[in-house]
Amino acid sequence: MSWTSNRLLSMLPQPDAALLRERLEPISLTQGEVLFRSNEKISYVFFFEGGLSSEIAGSDETKKIEVGCIGYEGFSAVPAVLGVDTSPHYAFMQCAGPALRISVKELRTVMDESRPVRDLLLKYAHVFLIQIAATALADGRYDIEQRLARWVLMSQDRIGDKLPLTHDFLALMLGVRRSSVTDALHRLEGTLAIKAERSLISVRDRRALKDIAGASYGLPEREYERHLGRDWRMP
């Protein structure tokens, strides 16, 4: 049995995992907790063992939209493993969950000591960048029902069939007005793919959601499997 439910960490050979394990601190992250802030020094990287985080482009002075989400398949603060100390983006927890925390300084030390750790984290950084690009493509070329179906599928992959998310959160994720989210949810409910209640979306038919999302969903997931060698998604 693996010592962690984080999919990346569980892929490491035992000696390399040990280098990280002795430096990782278990922590419980709450809903809404900020992981790093725009243009402020990134202090920690979080390897998620549950929950769901969002990386956001924009600020209170500009329009905001989600550009990526991460769960137990990865880690927060991808710029930190690329040698960057700050980002114009910020990240927070959409859904609470456990994580393993390590300081950026210690993580970089381990990356210098272990080629397998470095290679694994850089491969995940590539996959996350593909996810950001896929989000931009979805936002620019797909309608709101397709984008919503994609986002529900991505959330289901990470936290299961019950998604404790409000319409306000979804509006931020999709970069649209709250009323547009409400209308799109009603249309997806009409296909029997989901059931939407107050602050909760239940997935009823994953196949139907994939049909609706079409090619907007799946490329980052395939890249994860291609470069990291396994399907990490919840069944």
Q: Write a three-state SS string for 58-104.
A: CCCCCCCEEEEEECCCCECCHHHHCCCCCCCCEEEEEECEEEEEEEH
Phi and psi at residue 72, to the nearest 5°: -75, 0
Let me know: does 8 contact 100? Beta carbons within 8 Å. Answer: no
Strands 25-29 and 97-103: antiparallel
- Residue 228, pLDDT > 70, answer yes
H/E segment holding residue 126:
helix 115-141
Confidence check: pLDDT of 174 > 90: no
pLDDT in tens, 9-46: 999 999 999 999 999 999 999 999 999 999 999 999 99
As a whole number of angstroms, the distance between CA 122 and CA 128 comes to 10
Output the pTM of the full model.
Answer: 0.95
Q: pLDDT of 72-119, one tens digit each?
A: 999 999 999 999 999 999 999 999 999 999 999 999 999 999 999 999
Which DSSP letter does residue 30 get?
P
pLDDT tens-digit map of 133-168: 999 999 999 999 999 999 999 999 999 999 998 888
pLDDT class of 169 with cuts at 50, 70, 90: confident
State the helix-helix crossing angle for 115-141 and 144-159, rounded to 10 degrees.
150
CB atoms within 10 A of CB 233: 16
Q: Is the pLDDT of residue 171 over 90?
A: no
pLDDT score of 73: 96
Dig out the tokens for 72 from the structure.
């137990």
Residue-level pLDDT at 209: 97
| 3 state SS of 32 | coil
Query: What is the per-residue pLDDT for 63?
Result: 82
Q: For position 117, what pLDDT does the model report?
A: 98
- Structure-token match 């107050």, residue found: 198
Helix, coil or strand: residue 170: helix
pLDDT of res. 62: 63
**Residue 28's pLDDT is what?**
98
What pLDDT is stored for residue 233 in this prediction?
A: 80
Full set of structural domains in the chain with CATH: 7-138 (2.60.120.10), 142-221 (1.10.10.10)
What confidence score (pLDDT) does residue 60 get? Answer: 66
Which pair of tokens denotes residue 113? 């000591």
